[in-house]
């Protein structure tokens, strides 16, 4: 079945970004969230980014209007009954995702592909919550979605070749470069990135250097565009901790142990940019 209509579940930063690129690519898109406030915030963010694209001459006014006309915000999960593809982008929590996928399996058409934007949780386990595990797959977008060119396509144990090829084609239509990844904790991106961030946090914890100096070493010495502690603040320290715990539990290897300072910051509510304080302060 061709993919014409997409529902994105979760109107946060990732979900809104995914909805935007899908609409820009020509798909009819339903952006869903249970919270009216979150839905309005996500939709307004898309409007803001599209207006900025017009200002910077990346698109014209007609293209902006066409993109917005293809985007429909909804609080009704039952609207998924008309969709060919669902991309879930909610909280990185297995219980939450499992509940959503059970609901989607009941409501979505039999041909619909159910994808998760999880950054670390096992696709095979998510797929097991449905009666269509061959049609469940991971689509891990990078943040910010409209800017970053990569999407990791993660095969669960039972993901079919047909499902993989369909999502590979969708990724290409979204003008993303896709890589095929098997279902291991953290996939490729976070299995490599998060231990580096965690080790940077250990260097703060042990008093080796200040956050700013650690970031400077990685930017000027390793040619990274952003230091690991700044990046951690942008990702969200709670998300970093969650992914490190998935890695630690999944591999049962002490090299993935989350730094105690990371746990302390999360318990203090210092989650990074979204709360105004992490390793740096934000106005």
Q: Is 10 annotated as a binding residue?
A: yes
Does residue 97 have a known ligand-binding role? yes
- Cα–Cα distance list, 21 to 61, 71, 89, 190, 229 (Å): 16, 11, 14, 22, 28
Asked if 190 is an active-site residue, the reply is yes
148 in a known ligand binding site: no
Q: Is 176 annotated as a binding residue?
A: no
Quick count: other Cβ atoms within 10 Å of Cβ 103? Answer: 16
Is residue 223 part of the annotated active site? The answer reads no
Q: Is 140 a catalytic residue?
A: yes
Indicate which residue of 119, 120, 171, 178 is catalytic.
119
273 is in an annotated binding site: no
User: Looking at 120, 171, 190, 242, which residue is catalytic?
Assistant: 190
Q: Does 143 appear as a known binding residue? A: yes
Q: 47 among the known binding-site residues?
A: no
What's the chain look like in SS3? Answer: CCCCEEEEECCCHHHHHHHHHHHHCCCEEEEECCCHHHHHHHHHHHHHHHHHHHHCCCCCHHHHHHHHHCEEEECCHHHHHHCCEEEECCCCCHHHHHHHHHHHHHHCCCCCEEEECCCCCCHHHHHCCCCCHHHEEEEEECCCCCCCCEEEEEECCCCCHHHHHHHHHHHHHCCCEEEEEECCCCCCHHHHHHHHHHHHHHHHHCCCCCHHHHHHHHHHHHCCCCCHHHHHHHHCHHHHHHHHHHHHHHHCCHHHCCCHHHHHHHHHCCCEHHHCECCCECC
Annotation-wise, does 33 bind a ligand? yes
Active-site pick, 140, 171, 178, 198: 140
Check the annotation: does 11 bind a ligand.
Answer: yes
Q: Is 152 a catalytic residue?
A: yes
State the Cα torsion 179-153-140-255 to the nearest 10°.
-70
Which listed residue (152, 171, 198, 242) is catalytic?
152
Which residues belong to the annotated binding site for NAD(+)? 10-15, 33, 92, 97, 119, 143, 274
* Residues with catalytic roles: 119, 140, 152, 190
Which residues belong to the annotated binding site? 10-15, 33, 92, 97, 119, 143, 274
């Amino acid at each position: 079945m061709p993919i014409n209509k997409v529902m994105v579940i979760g109107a946060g930063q990732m979900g809104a970004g995914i909805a935007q690129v899908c609409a820009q690519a020509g798909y009819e898109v339903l952006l869903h969230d249970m919270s009216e406030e979150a839905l309005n915030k996500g939709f307004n963010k898309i409007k803001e980014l599209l207006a900025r694209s017009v200002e910077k001459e990346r698109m014209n006014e007609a293209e902006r209007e066409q993109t917005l006309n293809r985007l429909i915000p909804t609080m009704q999960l039952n609207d998924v009954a008309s969709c060919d593809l669902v991309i879930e982008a909610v909280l990185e929590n297995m219980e939450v995702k499992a509940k959503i996928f059970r609901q989607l399996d009941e409501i979505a058409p039999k041909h619909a592909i159910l994808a998760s934007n999880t950054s670390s949780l096992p696709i095979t386990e998510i797929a097991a919550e449905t009666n269509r595990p061959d049609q469940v797959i991971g689509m891990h977008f990078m943040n910010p979605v409209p800017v970053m060119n990569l999407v990791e396509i993660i095969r669960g144990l039972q993901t079919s070749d047909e499902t993989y090829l369909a999502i590979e084609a969708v990724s290409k239509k979204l003008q993303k470069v896709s890589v095929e990844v098997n279902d291991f904790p953290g996939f490729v991106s976070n299995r490599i990135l998060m231990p580096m961030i965690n080790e940077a946090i250990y260097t703060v914890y042990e008093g080796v250097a200040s956050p700013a100096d650690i970031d400077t070493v990685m930017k000027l010495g390793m040619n990274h565009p952003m230091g690991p502690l700044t990046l951690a603040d942008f990702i969200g320290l709670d998300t970093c901790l969650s992914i490190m715990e998935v890695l630690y539990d999944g591999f049962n290897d002490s090299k993935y142990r989350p730094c105690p300072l990371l746990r302390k910051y999360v318990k203090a509510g210092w989650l990074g940019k979204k709360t105004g304080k992490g390793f740096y302060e934000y106005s």
